[in-house]
């Protein structure tokens, strides 16, 4: 059947309707670990008056003394550790070279290997800490 009649046109839906945005919820307050309690956050700013030149000089002297004391303590610990490790290392080497008793040889070998392991661990730790900026 062929007909010259025009095909029916669907009705115009009108302007496109956009979906409404969902209403925003207010941000949640921080939850407390204790039920029923509310957590409040505070921001405090501290303002101090400017230092006078004598106060600044005094503070800088204290910081310099504290830093010098820290450096001295670190060096004292390092020197003490090096002396102790050196004495044990030399005695272990002497025992390895001179002694023929197996228990002394075992002790000297264990001492030397643990000192070597400790030194390598210290050096690797120093290298890693210098990479991270500590």
* Contact call for residues 105 and 99 (beta carbons, < 8 A): yes
Nearest to 81 by CA among 119, 109, 113: 119
pLDDT at 28: 61
Model pTM greater than 0.85?
no
What is the tens place of the pLDDT at every residue in 25-51?
Answer: 665 655 656 666 666 777 777 777 888
pLDDT category, 76, cuts 50, 70, 90?
very high
* Measured distance CA(38)–CA(31) in Å, rounded: 6
* Measured distance CA(106)–CA(114) in Å, rounded: 12
* Contact call for residues 92 and 108 (beta carbons, < 8 A): yes
What is the tens place of the pLDDT at every residue in 91-133?
Answer: 888 888 888 888 988 999 999 899 889 888 888 887 777 777 6
* Contact call for residues 112 and 96 (beta carbons, < 8 A): yes
Residue ranges of domains in the chain: 53-132
* Contact call for residues 104 and 95 (beta carbons, < 8 A): yes
What is the tens place of the pLDDT at every residue in 9-29?
Answer: 666 665 666 677 777 766 565
């Amino acid at each position: 059947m062929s007909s010259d009649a025009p095909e029916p046109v669907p009705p115009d839906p009108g302007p496109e309707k956009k979906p409404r945005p969902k209403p925003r919820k207010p941000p949640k307050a921080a939850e407390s670990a204790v039920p029923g309690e509310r957590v409040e956050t505070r921001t405090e700013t501290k303002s101090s008056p400017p230092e006078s030149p004598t106060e600044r000089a005094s503070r800088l002297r204290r910081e310099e003394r504290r830093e010098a004391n820290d450096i001295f303590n670190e060096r004292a610990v390092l020197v003490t550790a090096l002396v102790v490790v050196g004495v044990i290392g030399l005695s272990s080497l002497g025992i390895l070279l001179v002694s023929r008793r197996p228990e002394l040889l075992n002790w000297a070998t264990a001492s030397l290997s643990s000192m070597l392991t400790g030194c390598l661990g210290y050096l690797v730790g120093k290298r890693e800490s210098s990479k991270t900026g500590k």
